[in-house]
Amino acid sequence: MLKALKRLWHDRRGNTIVIAAGALPLVIGSAGLATDTIQWALWKRQLQRAADSAALAGVHSIVYKEGTRTEVANAVNRDLTHNNHVGITTTKDYVGQPTSGAYAADPYAVQVTVSVQKKLSFSSIFLSSIPKITTSATATVVATGKYCVISLENTTATGISYTGNATVDLGCGMATNSKGANAIDAGGSSQVNASPISAVGGIPDSDNYADGTTIQQYGMKQKDPYATINAPTTGFNPCANDPNVGPSDPATPLTAGCYKNMRLNGDVTLGDGTYIIDGGNFEVGSQAKISCNSCTIILTNKSTATNAQIGTVNINAGATLNMTAQTTGTYAGLLFYQDRRATDGNGANFQNLINGNASSSFTGAFYFPNQQVYFTGTSGMNTNCVQMVARRVNFSGDTDITNTCPTGWPKPNFEGQMIRLVA
């Protein structure tokens, strides 16, 4: 018996089978753990995606409700239900404003923490309880750049367009609230130097944008930066008749106040102050020379009717304008202000034309919240801290604009905003 055992001990035949049999549990275990690890990582990624999407939805609800958080929970619930990834049923552990960290005091910040318990096919044999996967995401509104052109168009119509040979060097960004696929359109032989360029809708590719331009399409709606500034309700009496041809001597300024219309020709100096135009237009002749050191032109109507006639601006090509907005008071920084009751549409009665020759200079904001502004013709304007807020903005013809901002100007460029994940 002993000799038989010794022979068996030294017999090498069949070793591979024995080793394979001994190693088989390790092979099976490794394969099982690898499969569980991949499955765990996939569930983790899907859960993170759900938390990210829910946090973004929560911030969108705050923006939509203009700063209130009453719909955050509903928005998060709807998003988690709609984006239930591959059947993962999530548990909301926390939804609300972050309680600690850099965004604890941020009124727009939304933190979403979600978890899920999923049974692993192999590891569950050895685990006494089902493991829990937890992930968290925080989103808020962040600054995306400085804008000096904002289109308030809220339909699918193009909000900002460049046609012809327009050359525009803004030195800042532009944005539109248009929801269309062509929210901003740079066509023709135009040359656009502006960054960032943002839209709620799409921004088609174009070689007309300068190298390095940041494109931000399908972003959030931008606020009207002058929404809190309203047209005057006093100062209408008396309203002088149309001055038509202003004083020929620039040393004799036109007096600020209320006018029925303003049709300016020849050499006209506007005295410092606010010019209220009651139901009429502001028009400048093709060879006029207009100047002001501190003025604001307001197109409104003393009638309180919602359909009251609101005039437009028409500055003809060839005119020379050197105009600077007021730096103090309610309308500080505003060069042209049009009442929000102005009617949108097509044709001369529904649009504002800004022309000017190469000697023209503007310092201040153009505000036409419900009508289109055309910068057209052969204008070659020097603009200092010019800001353009209109329903739609169009640069056409041979327009050539260079925009710079003097130090200490009372109305800095508008801060753009975007919803992003921050943690």
Enter the tokens of residue 283: 């028009």
Single residue among 130, 155, 176 that ends a domain in this structure? 130
Q: What is the length of the chain? A: 423
If asked whether residues 102 and 184 sit together in one domain, one would say no
If asked whether residues 110 and 242 sit together in one domain, one would say no
If asked whether residues 119 and 201 sit together in one domain, one would say no
If asked whether residues 208 and 333 sit together in one domain, one would say yes
Examine residue 46 and state whether it is found in any structural domain, yes or no: yes
Nearest to residue 412, comparing CAs of 143, 103, 102?
143
Examine residue 420 and state whether it is found in any structural domain, yes or no: no
Single residue among 100, 130, 160 that ends a domain in this structure? 130
Examine residue 140 and state whether it is found in any structural domain, yes or no: no
If asked whether residues 313 and 402 sit together in one domain, one would say yes
Q: Which residues pair with 92 in a beta bridge?
A: 114
If asked whether residues 125 and 177 sit together in one domain, one would say no
Q: pLDDT (tens digit, 9 = 90+) per residue, 3-25? A: 655 665 566 655 555 555 555 56
Per-residue pLDDT at 247: 47
Q: Cis link prior to 196 (omega < 30° from 0)? A: yes
Domain that holds residue 58: 2-130
If asked whether residues 105 and 234 sit together in one domain, one would say no
pLDDT average per 10 residues of sequence, the chain (423 residues): 62 58 54 65 84 90 87 90 66 88 91 83 62 88 84 94 79 89 87 85 88 85 91 88 58 84 88 94 89 95 94 88 91 95 84 79 90 76 75 79 64 77 88
If asked whether residues 356 and 380 sit together in one domain, one would say yes
Examine residue 322 and state whether it is found in any structural domain, yes or no: yes
If asked whether residues 43 and 113 sit together in one domain, one would say yes
Query: Number of structural domains, the chain?
Result: 2
If asked whether residues 11 and 46 sit together in one domain, one would say yes
Examine residue 422 and state whether it is found in any structural domain, yes or no: no
If asked whether residues 100 and 195 sit together in one domain, one would say no
Say what the pTM is: 0.77
If asked whether residues 229 and 366 sit together in one domain, one would say yes
Q: Which residues pair with 421 in a beta bridge?
A: 139
Q: pLDDT (tens digit, 9 = 90+) per residue, 239-292? A: 887 775 554 555 568 889 999 999 888 888 999 999 999 999 999 988 888 999
For the purposes of burial, counting CB atoms within 10 Å of the CB of 78, is it exposed (0-12), middle (13-18) or buried (19 or more)?
A: middle
Examine residue 269 and state whether it is found in any structural domain, yes or no: yes
Per-residue pLDDT at 2: 66
Single residue among 96, 130, 164 that ends a domain in this structure? 130
Per-residue pLDDT at 8: 54
Per-residue pLDDT at 389: 94
